[in-house]
């Protein structure tokens, strides 16, 4: 069974967000002239670095999720896509689409993730909060 990101944890910070697609090219070096490239594989993952600011209670939830449910980062997990999940669905004019009771329709998107090469880093954010910085590999 694949673990699921705890819904009690806050959204990742925008200021630390960094994403880069996996390089799917194979470089061909010629004797002269510029290098050439060809496609190496078609299924490309995305490497994402992000951070969350946590209270002491949320830090305990994060630590338990990483250590126990993800086996110190060895297991895959489902995570809401921070760039899409929970945002309103917009019409052509940029206005939110509403259901009958004036509730906006929200987009739902989930990533299948592996933990990055390094374990999560922890630092202090303010007097009583913690910042966990980590990277994930978003599976294609």
**Where in the sequence is the domain holding 15, given as residue range(s)?**
3-25+35-138
Residue 63 lies in a domain: yes
pTM of the model: 0.83
Residue 9 lies in a domain: yes
Q: Which residue has the higher pLDDT, 64 or 99?
A: 64
Task: Read off the pLDDT of each residue in 58-70 and give the average, rounded to a whole number.
Answer: 98
| Out of 15-29, 31-45, 53-67, least confident range | 31-45
Please, are residues 111 and 136 in contact by the beta-carbon 8 Å criterion? yes
Task: Read off the pLDDT of each residue in 92-117 and give the average, rounded to a whole number.
Answer: 93
Tokens of 136: 């994930």
Domain count, the chain: 1
Residue 119 lies in a domain: yes
Residue 85: pLDDT band (50, 70, 90) is very high
Residue 64: pLDDT band (50, 70, 90) is very high
Residue 5: is its pLDDT beyond 80? Answer: yes
Task: Read off the pLDDT of each residue in 114-134 and give the average, rounded to a whole number.
Answer: 95
Residue 60 lies in a domain: yes
| Out of 42-46, 87-91, 118-122, 131-135, least confident range | 42-46
Task: Read off the pLDDT of each residue in 123-129 and give the average, rounded to a whole number.
Answer: 91
Residue 120 lies in a domain: yes
Residue 30 lies in a domain: no
What are the residue ranges of helices labelled H in the chain? Answer: 56-64
Which of helix, strand or coil describes residue 20? strand
Residue 13 lies in a domain: yes
Which of helix, strand or coil describes residue 98? strand
């Amino acid at each position: 069974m694949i673990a699921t990101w705890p819904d009690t944890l806050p959204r990742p910070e925008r200021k630390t967000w960094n994403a880069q697609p996996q390089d799917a090219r194979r470089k061909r070096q010629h004797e002269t002239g510029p290098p050439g490239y060809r496609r190496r594989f078609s299924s490309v993952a995305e490497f994402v670095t992000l951070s969350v600011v946590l209270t002491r209670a949320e830090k305990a939830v994060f630590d338990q999720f990483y250590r126990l449910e993800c086996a110190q980062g060895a297991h895959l997990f489902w995570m809401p896509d921070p760039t899409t999940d929970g945002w309103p669905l917009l019409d052509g004019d940029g206005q939110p689409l509403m259901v009958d009771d004036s509730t906006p329709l929200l987009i739902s998107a989930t990533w299948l993730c592996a933990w990055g090469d390094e374990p999560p880093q922890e630092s202090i954010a303010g007097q009583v909060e913690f910042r966990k910085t980590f990277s994930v590999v978003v599976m294609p």
